[in-house]
Structure 1
């Protein structure tokens, strides 16, 4: 027999767009709209990478900031910041702190920097870094220029090989092969 509670619509989970997402116990990713002094303090964030191009951003007392002023543009040189951000995050971790990497929406710039932090600090492949960050924040989608730079970085540090390939096919623009079966890849069901 059905009860009244059987017909109550379930509240959908909060949008990842407005969430601070945990990649590792010491590493988080977010869009600027998710930030508040209260949330950052509750999470114990000690270090933050600001990858927005917003002139006046939230500055929480007690948090060390690294400003990476960067447009979400395919022509922007994000590769200049890979090692600096990875070192900043590693310093936070080594000191028992927690780092947050954020950009305007938490989709392209912060995703690229988070992925490369895992590649540099943990030795993950670019493909596995995409999976790890994507599991924490499924809405990630670095722009094509950032993908080219991440692939080039992996190739330069991996004997000319990369674990992500840009596909052209009949499409107007190339796409990274990890986008073809993204849901299965992030759920661990891809073959």
Structure 2
């Protein structure tokens, strides 16, 4: 089933097949697509801004280094009245970790609460153990500032 899942009014998550449905992009009023994959395509809608985060879904991949950039891009888009869609191949691990990072940084949520919020929006999410430990590190770093 093709669908975009709403995490917040300004943040959606999905898999690549749903993200490439121009109808869903239009219905969801998506203005920014964050594609967290090496190979998955972007939707063809030309009005949509694009940001590619070229990582594989492997515990050893460095997603941490992209958390700030993605979280800030989502916040900036929301500030302009836009909506961001974060997706990866299956909409389970990479995209979920990026959504959680945004919630930790800009919604001041704990990692546990942020994971629960994303899981409520999209029940299949399951960030790999490496991404979970990177999110824990991110949460700790943000608490220090």
Q: TM-score when scaled to structure 2?
A: 0.93
The reply to whether residue 22 of structure 1 matches residue 3 of structure 2 is: no
Of 110, 115, 140, 1:125 maps to 110
- 1:80 alignment partner in structure 2: 65
Aligned equivalents of 2:136, 2:98: Cα separation in 1: 13
The whole-number CA distance in structure 2 between the counterparts of 1:34 and 1:25 is: 18
Q: CA RMSD in A?
A: 1.3
* Greater C-alpha radius of gyration: 1
1:47 maps to 32
Q: How does 1:58-97 map to 2 (within 5 A)?
A: 58-97=43-82
Q: Which runs of 5+ in 2 are unaligned?
A: none
Q: Secondary structure at the match of 2:44?
A: coil
> Contact (CA 8 Å) 2:96, 2:127: kept in 1 or not?
yes
- Runs of 4+ displaced beyond 6 Å: none
Q: Which position in structure 1 is the counterpart of 2:16?
A: 32
CA apart distance, 1:54: 1.1
Q: Which has the higher contact order (CA 8 A, sep 6+)?
A: 2
Deviations 1:93-118 (A, max 9, x none): 00001100000000000000001111
Gaps spanning 5+ residues in structure 1: where?
1-14, 160-191
TM-score (norm. length: structure 1)? 0.72
